[in-house]
Amino acid sequence: MSNVYDFPTMPRFEEYKKKFEKYLFMERKNGIILVRMHTDGGPVRWSPWMHRQLIDAWAAIGGDLENEVMILTATGDYWFAMHDKEAFAEWDTVRDPDIRYDGLRRPLKSVENFIYCIDIPTIGVLNGPGPSHTNFAFLCDITLCAPDVIIRDHHFSGGLVPGDSIGLLFQGLLGIKRSGSLLYSINHLTAEQALEYGLVNEIHPREKLLDRAWEIAEEIMKQPRSVRRMTSLLVKRPLRRLIFDDYQQHIISEMYAYVLQGAGHQIEKLRSKFTEVEKKLEKELTEKK
Contact 108, 169 (CB under 8 A): no
For the chain, the domains span 13-288
Each residue's pLDDT tens digit, 123-164? 999 999 887 789 999 999 999 999 999 998 888 888 889 999
* pLDDT at residue 1, as a whole number: 40
CATH number 3.30.1330.10 given to 13-288: no
Q: How confident is the model over 185-213, as a mean pLDDT?
A: 96
Task: For residue 9, count other CB atoms closer than 10 A to its CB.
Answer: 5
- Is the model's pLDDT at 93 over the cut of 90? no
Q: Spell out the SS3 assignment of 89-123.
A: HHHHCCCCHHHHCHHHHHHHHHHHHHHHHCCCCEE
Nearest residue to 19 via CA among 44, 47, 53: 53
The strand order across the sheet containing 24-29 reads: 24-29, 32-37, 69-74, 122-126, 142-145, 202-203
Q: Pinpoint the alpha helices (H) of 166-244.
A: 166-174, 176-183, 191-196, 206-220, 225-242
Residues in the chain, total: 289
Contact 270, 154 (CB under 8 A): yes
Each residue's pLDDT tens digit, 11-59? 999 999 999 999 999 999 999 999 999 999 999 999 999 999 999 999 9
Q: How confident is the model at residue 177 (pLDDT cuts 50, 70, 90)?
A: very high
Contact 77, 280 (CB under 8 A): no
Give the Cα separation of 280 and 235 in Å (integer).
Answer: 37
Task: For residue 40, count other CB atoms closer than 10 A to its CB.
Answer: 10
List, in sequence order, every residue forming a beta bridge with 32; answer none if it has no partner: 29, 69
Report the C-alpha dihedral over residues 74, 169, 60, 44, rounded to 10 degrees: -20
